[in-house]
A and B are shown apart, each in its own frame.
Chain A
Amino acid sequence: MILDVTELTMDFGGLRAVNAFSLQMDKGEIIALIGPNGAGKTTLFNCVTGVYYPTAGEIRIQPPGNDAESIKGLKPSTIAHKGLARTFQNIRLFPNMTVLENVMIGRHTRLKAGVLGAILRDKRTRQEEEQIIHDSFRILKKIGIEQWANNQAKNLPYGAQRRLEIARAMATDPFILLLDEPAAGMNPHETKDLEELIVRIRDTEEISIFLIEHDMSLVMSLSERIYVMDYGKLIAVGTPDEVKNDPEVIKAYLGEEVSA
């Protein structure tokens, strides 16, 4: 088990956005979290990545080659350093930076050069700088957006911006990649490419994938296990086929009056 969320609860004032939610993830898995709008999916992501401090519960990770540890309540930057990287539902690139620079920021957490190194520009800093550029470009190639390397991120087509978010997250060398609605706003063709990309990332980079997605055909063909959330609670978990036929899930998606 590389990610273990137990009984996680998140309250906003009187509203319980996530309610005693538990989730486990194994190495090399692709899992998905689905549920109606406002079910609390992104809130769960935000708790896991440190944006919110959860009200109760525990989040543990097991990074490769390291002991299991709790990451509950750590700063987002520390969590990124420990190997969890994410993308955002409504794209949050650094709009005025170039595509390559966006990815270079992703490398930040794996490098050391400080202020003094920057000013003196010693041999090690220069080598590191060259290495960043080299690595970042390689990642862009893998994701297939290297032709835009020196363009400003905000000038990219929509689909490419979504891919750039993934590239930037991968630059942090994660062992778990959390994708928040990566296919939102994409056309069927782009979604197909995205699906291939996600599988390739999992297979070649040894990165496990945890995604939130509304595109059911993508979720069903991609995920090995699916967690279904409604009103902050876990209502079903299982393989795509199990979940598809679960009466609770159908009820949550289609409303009360339709019986399974």
Chain B
Amino acid sequence: MNFEYFFRLFFSGLTRGSIYALLALGYTMVYGIIKLINFAHGEIYMIGAFTALIVAGALSLTGMPALAILVLASVVALVYSSMYGYTVEKIAYKPLRQAPRLSALIVAIGMSMFLQNYLLLAQTSNFLPFPDLLPEFSLPESWGGMVNGPQFLIFVTTAIIMVALTLLIKFTRMGKSMRATSQDKVMAALLGINVNRIISYTFIIGSFTAALGGILISSYTGQINYFIGFLAGIKAFVAAVLGGIGSIPGAVLGSIVLGMAESFAAGYISSVYEDVFAFVILVLILIFKPSGLLGKPEVQKV
């Protein structure tokens, strides 16, 4: 057994899992509150990455230092993605709160298709190289060169976001309102919680983390196009289901497990079927443990 190969796959899986986690958090939060698979979530991730690319590209002509560009581009991209998330909810999902779930799902697919093609038409269908923004730094020799700088940055960011979100949901007033809203919207409204505002916050936070994931992975892989969001979005959803939908630690755990599984399967079995594994895992988990790794079993109300 080749240990170096193993560890390389391990860390590449962890990287992938961390990005899925940043996306899966948004899925799980939105699902927890309005019980909808937000298919457009992956598009928000893509728009985040694209906005960062556009801003960085424009700023690089001004001769600004790389670090300043990185910060500015990221901030603009994060703000814009949150705005997109907020707008999508207001336009497409809010009018359908009372409608059957099938309608809301169809709208979500329509929105995803619309945003993808919006980017395609307004920008380009080609892959664009993503500007090299992440600061170059090398990790200590003793780490054996199996983790590189950007990977390390991705792990750390994901961990920080996860802790911050957990604290936010557990201890802040907004977090408590979110939990109340996800359990019973009518009751929450009766207790004076502004449900519409809470749903908006959820979309904004989810879009923020998704865009962060988009920017990180694009700087890591070095290229993007309008299509990167869709598959990543679907897989992040699979990860959220795997971990137990509605659970934040579950989303992270599910993402890491899925990232690892994909990485090892691609490394040891076959890389052409890489995208198939996620769906196979999804079917298996839904059949054998539909509540996911950390979710509570759902009792069907009759």
Contacts and interface: CB of A to CB of B under 8 A. Distances in A.
Are A and B close enough to touch in the complex, i.e. CB under 8 Å? yes
Counting chain A CB atoms within 10 Å of each CB, which of B296, B297, B299 scores highest? B299
A42 B302 contact: yes
Interface in A71-104: 88-89
B300 interface: yes
Contacts, number: 10
A178 to B, nearest CB: 12
Interface residues of A, number: 7
Interface residues of B, number: 5
- SS of B interface (majority): loop
A46 interface: yes
A46 B299 CA distance: 12
Contacts of A46: 302
Contacts of A88: 302
B289 to A, nearest CB: 14
A156 interface: no
B302 A51 contact: yes
Interface in B251-301: 296-297, 299-300
A64 interface: no
Contacts of B302: 42, 46, 51, 88-89
A13 B297 contact: yes
A154 B302 CA distance: 19
A12 B302 CA distance: 14
A88 B302 CA distance: 7
Nearest to A180: B302
A12 B300 contact: no
A236 B299 CA distance: 28
A13 B300 CA distance: 13
A95 B58 CA distance: 56
10 contacts: A12-B297, A12-B299, A13-B296, A13-B297, A42-B302, A46-B302, A51-B300, A51-B302, A88-B302, A89-B302
Given A42-B302, A51-B302, A88-B302, 7 more contacts: A12-B297, A12-B299, A13-B296, A13-B297, A46-B302, A51-B300, A89-B302
